[in-house]
Amino acid sequence: MLKAVLFDDEFIVLEALGALVDWKGLGIELAGTASDGLSAMELFRRIRPDIVLTDIRMPGKDGLQLIGEIMDEAPETCCIVFSGFNEFDYVKRAIRLGVVDYIEKPITEISIEQALRKALGQIGKQEETRKLERLWEASKHDLLEKAVWDLLLRGREAENKWREVFGPQAGQVHGITVLAAVEPFKLPDHPAYRTVYLRSDQSYLAVVFCLMELSNTYWDDVSADLENANVAVGLGNERMEPGEVPDSLKEAQRALRSALFLGVKGFLPFGELGGRMTSSNELPEREEAIILSMRAGNKAMLMEQVDRFIQWIQTSKLDPDLAESEMLKLIYSAWEAAKETGVEAGRSYVPPETFVPHLEIREMAAKGKLTAWFRDRMESIAESGMNLRENTKHTAVQQARRYIESNLARDVSLQEVADHVGLNATYLSVLFKEVMGETYIKYLTRFRMERAKSLLRKGLKVNEVSEKVGYLTHRHFTEVFKKYTGQTPGQFKDS
């Protein structure tokens, strides 16, 4: 039911109109009355009625002032004014303010009901307009979703249609990235990018159209928020050309599989997977699982994949030559993954000179010991790689920490730190959490905030501290600092 309020400084008028009008019959609830302009405005703000009926002359604040303020705050409100004889100048001003109707005193039942029906007609038109606007917005949203889906699936063939639907901002897009997760997620709203959310059979997608560059620290903080929410998100590589977006989708889905396998939360960029994982030819699932098991330092998981593979060989009755070829592929994949665990030159995994699986495999096949030999070889590689991993992980993390601390004023990415240490970025991220008990991003944020607190205590200005701890904008630094400490940098400094 619509709500109306009634304002007049004469109590008898308020009483008469309350009784004279068949409010319920008109589908209106008389929600309140007031006898002066100040209390009338207070009542309006509390009730937010659809219809306001007011006298022009009232103490405290006259009807015209009242209507002006109401129209500023809620322009969709229908206002009706009462006017006495010889108040035409006031009426003209009321009309200019946008009132629906005016009624001359003395007020009659017919005149008030006619004015209310006129107001109801206008409300009906407004609602119909809003309905059409909602339908149009929903239609535009559906068209945009379809255009982006077509871009993801068809690439260059769908680019022109996407540009048409995306609108003028299409010309400002300088990069597109696809994000994928197994549960719904949202990115913060920001003028530097525009996000379209989609749902596929296997994952929830966010397609980010970048309009301006943002710092690594911004995305690190977004990743930290997702990590705190226990959400894993795979990121495809950014594509400069809209027609290449299908590749970013495939990469996001592969990165998501890796994140779920490794137990990584927050962002896992495809570009940080490294090695064979990011080659142009997509790895078979079992090879991918073996590489990820080695990176996770999980021998049991790796041997489970090996046993699954052996079972597949035996049940599928694979051609012997093809079976041998597949075994060799997995052995060398495990070998390459083991080599990634090295930190310093000369410390990487080097198999013994007797490691010649391509020669041994035929001999083992001839002796009927192929599967047992294959399992032993995989277990041996796993143990060697994981022993080296255990011996070198502390050194790797210490090197990473020193590099972070000596480059705190710069916008340092995980990839840059990993390159310095000489490791794959995803592998370094896993090691970092093992050794430090927190992720790289959480450590970096905590270190920056603690350093910021120390500098603020020494009397440095907030903008100086922001630059010294690696934040490119004062606003972003303030947001992160308040989230970390519960205070703004200025409040902390003054406390």
Does residue 125 share a domain with residue 8? yes
Does residue 12 share a domain with residue 124? yes
**pLDDT score recorded for residue 258:** 81
**pLDDT score recorded for residue 124:** 81
Asked if the bond preceding 351 is cis, omega within 30° of 0, the reply is: no
Domain membership of residue 473 (yes or no) is: yes
Classify strands 193-199 and 204-210 as parallel, antiparallel or unpaired.
Answer: antiparallel
* pTM for this entry: 0.56
pLDDT by position in tens, the chain (length 495): 899 999 998 888 888 888 888 888 888 999 999 999 899 999 999 999 999 999 888 888 888 888 889 988 998 889 998 877 566 666 677 777 778 888 888 888 888 888 888 888 888 877 876 776 666 565 678 888 888 999 999 999 999 999 988 989 999 999 999 999 999 999 999 999 999 999 987 789 999 999 998 888 888 889 988 988 999 999 999 999 999 999 999 999 888 988 887 778 889 888 877 654 444 444 567 677 777 777 666 778 788 888 888 888 777 776 777 878 888 888 887 777 776 654 333 344 445 556 678 888 888 877 888 888 888 888 888 777 777 666 677 888 888 999 988 898 888 888 889 888 887 787 788 888 888 888 888 889 899 999 999 999 988 988 899 989 988 788 888 988 998 889 999 888 887
Asked if the bond preceding 269 is cis, omega within 30° of 0, the reply is: no
**pLDDT score recorded for residue 6:** 92
Does residue 119 share a domain with residue 6? yes
**pLDDT score recorded for residue 344:** 35
CB 58 within 8 A of CB 52: no
Does residue 183 share a domain with residue 104? no
Show the DSSP H helices in 340-473 as ranges. 357-366, 370-406, 414-421, 425-436, 440-457, 462-468
Does residue 76 share a domain with residue 190? no
Domain membership of residue 91 (yes or no) is: yes
Does residue 123 share a domain with residue 11? yes
Does residue 213 share a domain with residue 117? no
Quote the CA–CA distance of 52 and 4 in Å, as a whole number.
6
Does residue 115 share a domain with residue 51? yes
Domain membership of residue 328 (yes or no) is: no
CATH number of the structural domain spanning residue 486: 1.10.10.60
The domain of 489 spans 443-494
**pLDDT score recorded for residue 279:** 47
Domain membership of residue 450 (yes or no) is: yes
Q: Which of these three, 100, 129, 158, is where a domain ends? A: 129
Domain membership of residue 83 (yes or no) is: yes
Question: Which of 458, 482, 478, 386 is closest to 427 using CA atoms?
Answer: 386
Q: Which of these three, 102, 129, 156, is where a domain ends? A: 129
Angle at 305 between CA 378 and CA 232, to 5 degrees: 120
Residue 295 CA: distances (Å) to CA of 39, 79, 105, 258, 432: 69, 70, 86, 10, 12
What SS3 class is residue 218?
A: helix
3-state helix, strand, coil in the chain (%, to 5): 60, 10, 25
**pLDDT score recorded for residue 137:** 60
Residue 3's DSSP bridge partners are 29
Domain membership of residue 395 (yes or no) is: no
CATH number of the structural domain spanning residue 34: 3.40.50.2300
Does residue 236 share a domain with residue 122? no
Residue 307 CA: distances (Å) to CA of 298, 302, 374: 15, 9, 10
Q: Which of these three, 94, 129, 164, is where a domain ends? A: 129
**pLDDT score recorded for residue 138:** 59
Domain membership of residue 342 (yes or no) is: no
Show the tokens assigned to 450. 């603690």
**pLDDT score recorded for residue 242:** 93
Quote the CA–CA distance of 429 and 397 in Å, as a whole number.
9
**pLDDT score recorded for residue 333:** 77
Domain membership of residue 257 (yes or no) is: yes
Does residue 94 share a domain with residue 190? no
Does residue 111 share a domain with residue 55? yes
CA-based radius of gyration for the chain: 34
Domain count, the chain: 3
**pLDDT score recorded for residue 355:** 64
What SS3 class is residue 54?
A: strand
Does residue 184 share a domain with residue 266? yes
